[in-house]
Structure 1
Amino acid sequence: MSLNGAPVAPPEFQIYNSYVIDPQYARYFTIAWTSTLAAFTLLNAPNLIRSVRRRRLPSYKGLWENLHGYQPVQPSEEKQGDPPPPPRTTPLQQMHTMVASMVQPISLRCLPRMRVDFGQMILLVGITVAAILCLTQAAQLKSNANRAGFMALSLLTPTFLFASKNSPAALLLGKGYEKLNWVHRWSGRLLFLMATIHGSLWINNRIRNGQDNLLRTGLKEREGQAAYGLLCMIVLLSLRPVRVYAYQFFYAFHVLGYVAFFIMICYHTPYAEPWIYPPIAFWGLDLLLRLVRFRIKDAYATAVDQQMTIVRIPDIQGGWLAGQHVRLRVFFNGRPFESHPLTILNADPATTTLPASTGITLGVRAVGDWSRALNRLATDQGADGRLTVMVDGPYGGLTFDLGDFESVLLVAGGSGATFTVGALDDIVGRVVRHRRAKGEKTRVIKFVWFVRSYGTSLIGADKPFWGNDRVYAGCISWFAPILAQLAETCHGASLSISFHFYVTCLCNPDELLPIRNSTIEESKPDIESLLAPLLGRDEEKGEGIATLGGIAVAASGPESLICQARNAVAKVGPSAARRVGGVQIHTELFAL
C-alpha cells in the first residue's frame, strides 16, 4: 500500500471538472496563435530593422505641422553627383529572398472574387483546425459543453487584436490594420461557431434531461441566451452588404453591440472576466492613440470634374509615409459622424519635388452619397471654399520600402492611382532630391494606369488644384500635372520613369498636358506581360531590363486587378526570382 499521498481514482472513475480542464485547452489555443504571430514577426524582423534604421516606422503620434516653413529644392541637385547605391546584400536579406521565392508561387495565388489568397487560406485552415482540436480533445461535449464556451472566450483576444486600427500586431508584422482585418473576421466567425456549439449542446442537454423549463426560468440560461442574441446581431449586421450600403450603421452597432455583449457575458459566467481584459486593453489603446492622432484643420476642396474632388489640408506638413491613408470627416450638410478612408496622394514637403506641394492632398472619387455631396459642395464654393475637417491617421502604407528595390512596377486601376502617385512622388523625392541619402537602390520605375478615358474637353475653373494654369477633365487628367512634373524631375537623372496608360476610350487626348516617356493604348494587357520586361524575359526584343537589385510590385484598385497582380507575381518561378534579386508585391484593395 502506497503512503505517498491520498489514493487517486482511475481515470474512468474520475469526475470531469470542466472548470479546470476546459480552460487549459483554451490556453493551448492561445499559445498556438500567439506562437504563429511570433513566427511571422521573426520573418518580418529584417524589414522592421531596416525601417528603424531609416526612421521610416509608422508614427503613432499622428500628423504634425512644420513651424519653420518649406522651400522646395530644384531637382537638378541629384544630377550633380549621384552617389551609387550600396551594392552589398546581407545574408539575412538573401535568406529572406530565397524563402520568399519558394513560398510566393503558392501563397500569393488567388481566385477571382475571393478576398484571400492561398497563403491566407492555409492560415485560416490552420486556425480552424487548431480550434477544433482544442475543442474536441478529451472533451465530454454532450454532457458538458463548457469547452466550447471557453474556446469562444479565448477567441475574443485575436478578434480584437486584429480589428483595432492601432494594433501592436500591425507594427510587428509591418502591415496596416486593413491587411490584418481578414484575421479579425475569421476569428469572429469561429467565435460565433463556438458560441453556437456551446449554446445548442446545453439546450439539447436540458431538453434530454427534462429540464427544459430552465431555459425559460433559469437566470444563467437567460443571460446566455441574451449574450448569444447580441452575438447573432453583431454577426448578421457585419455581412458585406450591410458594410457596403450602411457602413455607418454597421460601425455604430458593432461598437455598441460588443459593449453590451461583454456586459452580458460577464453576467452569464464569472469565468469570462480574465478573458475580456486583453480585448478591452487593445480597444482602449486603440481609442487612446486615435484621440492623440485626431486633428481638426481647415481644408480646401476643388472639383476637378464631376467624378473627382481634390481636398488640400495645407497646415499639415509631416507625419506620414508613402501610401498611407487617413480617415476624413468633413463638417458639412449634417454629416459630422461620417468618416471615410482616403489615400494621401503626395509625399511630405520635406521629400516631394513637386513645386507647389504643401500639406496633405487627398483625391476623393465621387462614387457614393458622401463623395457626391462633397463634389457638389466644392463645385458651388469654388477653389477658395474653406471647409472644416477632422483627420484621423495616418494608417496603412507599403509593407516594404520601394527604395530597397532596383526596379519598381506601380499598377493602378481607376482611383487606385491615388496610392501609386503618392508612392511615386515619395521615391522620386528620395532619389532625386535627397540623392539616395538612405541608400535607395531604385533605378527603373514603370507606372501603369488602367482607366476608362484619357481626356475630354477642358472644364472651367478659377484656380487649378496643383499650381498649373490649366485644369483637365477625364480620368488621367485628374493627376496629369503631377505625373508630368515628376517625369520632368527625373529627366537626365539616374532614375528612369516610364508611364503607360491603358484606356477604353481615347476621347480627346490632345487636350491633355504632355507627359514625358508616356504611352497610351486602347487595350488591357495582363500584368504578367507588364512584369516580364523587368524580369529580363524580353531582352531579345530590346525591351528587357537587367536587374539584380530586386523588383517591387505595388498594385491598387478593384478586386480583379489585385487578384491579377498577385497571380502575376506568383507565376515568377523561384529561380527567376532569385536571379533578379527577389520579387515582392504590395496590394491596396479599393473596396469595402
Structure 2
Amino acid sequence: MSMIAASFAARAAAAAAGTGSAATSNASTSSGAGNGTATNAATAGAGTAGAAAGGGGAAPAGPSDFQIVWSIDIILLSVFALLFLLRLPRFLARMYRFSEWTSGLILRNRPYHMRASGRRVQFSVGNDANMNVIDISTDDSHAMYQEKAFAQRISATGAQVQGSYPPHVSNCITFFRPLLKLMHARIETGVSLSHAAMMVAWTGALVFPAFYMTEAFTDPVRFGWITASQLPFVYAFGTKNNVLGTFLGIGYEKINFMHRHAGRIVLVSVNVHGLGYIYKWCLASSFMEEIANPQCYWGLIGLICIDALFLFSTEFVRKKAYNIFLATHISALTVLVIAMLNHFSGAIPWAYACAAFYLFDLLLRITKTRVSTATLRVIPELGVTRVEIPNINSGWRAGQHVRLRALSSGMGVFGWAEVHPFTIASVADGPEGMVLLCKKAGSWTNRLYSMANSENGRKVSVMVQGPYGGLGNCMVSSFSAATFICGGSGITLATSAMQEIIRKDLNGESRVKSIELIWTVQDASALVPMLPLFTSMIQRSVFTPIRISVFYTRAPIGKFPFAEDFFRSTSLTLSPGRPKFHKHLEETITRTTALVPGSKSANASGLFVGVCGPVALADGVFADAGQIDPYRRDQIGGVEVHAETFGW
C-alpha cells in the first residue's frame, strides 16, 4: 500500500510542475525548472521519506496518505460496528419468530384462502355455561361486545390458545432516557440535535487527515485521497437498499441525511484537489499540456461529475424537475466510478466499493420490482387517489412504503418515467391486497387523480418497487400502548399498523393494551370515507380498546356530514380545532398503567408513538413527547417516537 501511495505522490508532484513548491508528505521532490518541468523521485518501502523544499534534509518518516485515509475509514466502520452491536439485541428480539425473517423484504402474491385463520374468539358472561362463539377468520361478522373481559381465544379444535407475546427491547436504556429529549430537540425543521452531532463528528474525523503533515492550500494531494475514501460512504448512504442502514435497523430515508452530508464533504475535497492543480497549471501556463494526460482529464471528468451532482441535487431542482435530478444522479455516479478507475490506480479499492454498493442496490431493485394491474378510485373528501393492487397482497410490514410508477398514456408523455413513494395503507396478507392513498400534491399526482376521476374503477398497469423503510427492528406489538398521530393522507401509517396489531392480538401475539389514533384533517367530511374502516377496527379489536379522535381545522361548508347525536361513543370522536398531543399522550399513559396486569405482561413495556404527516407535525410530536414527566415516562416503560414525513 505504501508503494501505491508513493507512486501516486510522484505523479501528483509531476502534475504540479513549474510551481517550485515543496515536496508532499508522501515523499516526492519537485524542483522547479525554467520551462516548468519537474524531476520526481519517490522513495520505496514506506513511501513517506522525502526532501524538504530547498533544504535537502531528510524529513522524519510518517504514514502515507493512503495509510492515513484508510485508517480513518477503518475508524468510521468500527463506529458502525459498535452501533450494530448495541442494536443487535433488538434485531435478535425481532427474529424471535421465523415469519419475521422474510417479512418486509419481497412483495409477493399468496392465495388468501390458504392464509385464513382458523382461530375464533369465545365470549362468556360471568359463569354462564352458554357460550356465544363468533368466527373471526373473516370480516363478515363483527359486533360490539360488552363482555370483552370474558373473551378467550380458541383454536379451530376448540382448545384455548395461549399467548405467545413478542419480547420487547427498548431503544434506550433507562439511565440514558433523559438524553433523548436533548437529542430529539430540533435545531431547524426536520433536523434534530442528534443529526447535527453525527454530522459534526463525521466532519471532525476528516479534519485530521485533511491537515496532518500536509499543506492543504499548496499541496492538494491529500484531498484527492479524502475524496476517494469518502465516495463509498456516499454510495452506501444513498442507495435504497442501504447496507449500513439495514445493519442498524434504519430505513434509507432516515439515514439519507448522511448521504447528503458525505456528499458535501466530497464536493469540498474534490474541488480543493482539482482546482488546486488547475490553479498551479494555469500559473505555469501548462494547463493544456497537463490536461492532455489521460490521468488528468479523467480526473477533470470526475470533478465535473461531482459538481454536476451537487448542482442538480438542490431542493429547487428536486421539487421542480425530479426526473432531471434522477437522470443526472444515475449517469454522473456511473461515470464517476469509471473516472476514478482511470484517474489513479490507488483509488481502485474505493472505486470497486462504490461499484459494489451501486450494483448490489440495482440488483435488489430489480428483484423487488413487480408489474401488476391496479384499480384507481377517487376519494374526493380526502383529495386522494385510492390505488388497489389485489395481485400484490403479501411481503410488507406496517409502515413500509413502495415506489409507484403508472404505465399509462393518461399520465402524459413522460409520466410513465416518474416514480413516487407512497406508504402502504393496508395490512399484509389481507383480502384487499395492497392499497395506496396518493394525495394530490403535484403534477404527477394530479394527473393520476384526474385519470381516476374520469372513470371510477379504471384499470391501469403499474410498476411497484419495494418495500422500503418502515419501522426497522421496532415491533409495535411488543409495546404496552400505541398512539398514532397522523395528518391528512398520513393516515396510511395508522391504518396498516393498527390492523396489524389487531390481527396479532387476536392470535395472542401482541402486548399492546391500548391503541389511540389522532387524525387531523382540514374538513370534517374527510371522516366519511374512512368511517367503515374505523368502525371495523374498533369492532374487531376484541381484547384491546381503541380510541379514534378526529380533528378538523376548517369550518364546515354547507351541511355538516354527521348528525348531532352520531358520535355517542368515546371510541370514535370528531372535534374542531387542533389536538393537544401532550394531553393525549398523558391520557394514554394513564389508561395503560391503570389496566390490571394480565397475561400480556406484568410490567409496562413502553409507549410507541407513530407519526405520519408534514415535517412540522413530526417536530411538534417529538417536542411534546419530550415534555412528558420523567416519572410518567419510566412508569410506562419509556416513550419511543417513530416519524414518517411527507417528502422525497
Does residue 484 in structure 1 map to residue 484 in structure 2? no
Q: How does 1:249-260 map to 2 (within 5 A)?
A: 249-260=324-335
C-alpha displacement of 1:381: 2.0
C-alpha displacement of 1:570: 2.7
Between 307-316 and 374-383, the greater mean CA deviation after superposition:
374-383
Higher-Rg structure is 2
C-alpha displacement of 1:504: 1.2
Conserved? CA contact 2:384–2:438, under 8 Å: yes
CA deviations on 1:347-374 (whole Å, 9 max, x unpaired) are: 123xx5xxxx321111111221121111
Of structures 1 and 2, the one with the larger relative CO (CA 8 A, separation 6+) is 1
Paired residue for 2:400, among 321, 324, 327? Answer: 324
Does residue 14 in structure 1 map to residue 58 in structure 2? yes
C-alpha displacement of 1:503: 1.1
Distance 2:293 2:229 in 1: 25
Conserved? CA contact 1:97–1:581, under 8 Å: no
Conserved? CA contact 1:101–1:573, under 8 Å: no
C-alpha displacement of 1:197: 1.8
Output the amino acid matched with 2:90: N
C-alpha displacement of 1:309: 1.0
Residue matched to 1:81 = 152
Does residue 549 in structure 1 map to residue 602 in structure 2? no
Output the amino acid matched with 2:74: I
Scaled by the length of structure 1, the TM-score of the pair is: 0.85
Output the amino acid matched with 1:243: R
Query: Against the structure 1 CA distance between its residues 77 and 45, is the aligned structure 2 distance closer, same or farther, given a 3 Å change threshold?
Result: farther
Distance 2:456 2:171 in 1: 55
Conserved? CA contact 2:607–2:636, under 8 Å: yes
Does residue 64 in structure 1 map to residue 108 in structure 2? yes
C-alpha displacement of 1:194: 1.0
Conserved? CA contact 1:312–1:362, under 8 Å: yes
Distance 1:39 1:431 in 2: 35
Residue matched to 2:477 = 403
Residue matched to 1:27 = 70
Distance 1:192 1:171 in 2: 26
Query: Against the structure 1 CA distance between its residues 496 and 130, is the aligned structure 2 distance closer, same or farther, given a 3 Å change threshold?
Result: same
Output the amino acid matched with 1:398: L
Query: Against the structure 1 CA distance between its residues 587 and 99, is the aligned structure 2 distance closer, same or farther, given a 3 Å change threshold?
Result: farther
Output the amino acid matched with 1:451: V
Query: Against the structure 1 CA distance between its residues 84 and 579, is the aligned structure 2 distance closer, same or farther, given a 3 Å change threshold?
Result: farther
Scaled by the length of structure 2, the TM-score of the pair is: 0.78
Structure 1 residue runs without a partner (length 5+): 456-474, 541-545
Conserved? CA contact 1:58–1:321, under 8 Å: no
The 3-state SS of whatever aligns with 2:275 is helix
Output the amino acid matched with 1:454: A
Query: Against the structure 1 CA distance between its residues 125 and 84, is the aligned structure 2 distance closer, same or farther, given a 3 Å change threshold?
Result: farther
Q: How does 1:84-233 map to 2 (within 5 A)?
A: 93=169, 96-113=172-189, 115-206=190-281, 214=289, 219-233=294-308
Distance 1:15 1:211 in 2: 30
Identity %: 24
Q: How does 1:219-368 map to 2 (within 5 A)?
A: 219-305=294-380, 307-333=383-409, 334=413, 335-349=415-429, 357-368=431-442
Distance 1:243 1:377 in 2: 24
Output the amino acid matched with 2:524: Y
Between 526-535 and 306-315, the greater mean CA deviation after superposition:
526-535
C-alpha displacement of 1:217: 5.3
Paired residue for 1:376, among 444, 447, 450? Answer: 450
Does residue 494 in structure 1 map to residue 547 in structure 2? no
Paired residue for 1:567, among 623, 630, 635? Answer: 623
C-alpha displacement of 1:421: 1.3
Conserved? CA contact 1:303–1:378, under 8 Å: yes
The 3-state SS of whatever aligns with 2:521 is strand
Does residue 518 in structure 1 map to residue 578 in structure 2? no
C-alpha displacement of 1:409: 1.0
Query: Against the structure 1 CA distance between its residues 10 and 359, is the aligned structure 2 distance closer, same or farther, given a 3 Å change threshold?
Result: closer
Paired residue for 2:518, among 424, 441, 448? Answer: 448
Output the amino acid matched with 1:568: D
Conserved? CA contact 2:166–2:478, under 8 Å: no
Query: Against the structure 1 CA distance between its residues 235 and 515, is the aligned structure 2 distance closer, same or farther, given a 3 Å change threshold?
Result: farther
Query: Against the structure 1 CA distance between its residues 501 and 88, is the aligned structure 2 distance closer, same or farther, given a 3 Å change threshold?
Result: closer
RMSD (CA atoms): 3.1
CA deviations on 1:144-202 (whole Å, 9 max, x unpaired) are: 32111111111111111111111222221112111111111111111111112212333
Distance 1:503 1:84 in 2: 42
CA deviations on 1:36-63 (whole Å, 9 max, x unpaired) are: 2112212221221111113325647511
Output the amino acid matched with 1:578: D
The 3-state SS of whatever aligns with 1:134 is helix
C-alpha displacement of 1:521: 1.7
Structure 2 residue runs without a partner (length 5+): 1-44, 122-133, 137-147, 154-160, 595-601
Query: Against the structure 1 CA distance between its residues 95 and 425, is the aligned structure 2 distance closer, same or farther, given a 3 Å change threshold?
Result: closer
Distance 1:99 1:41 in 2: 20
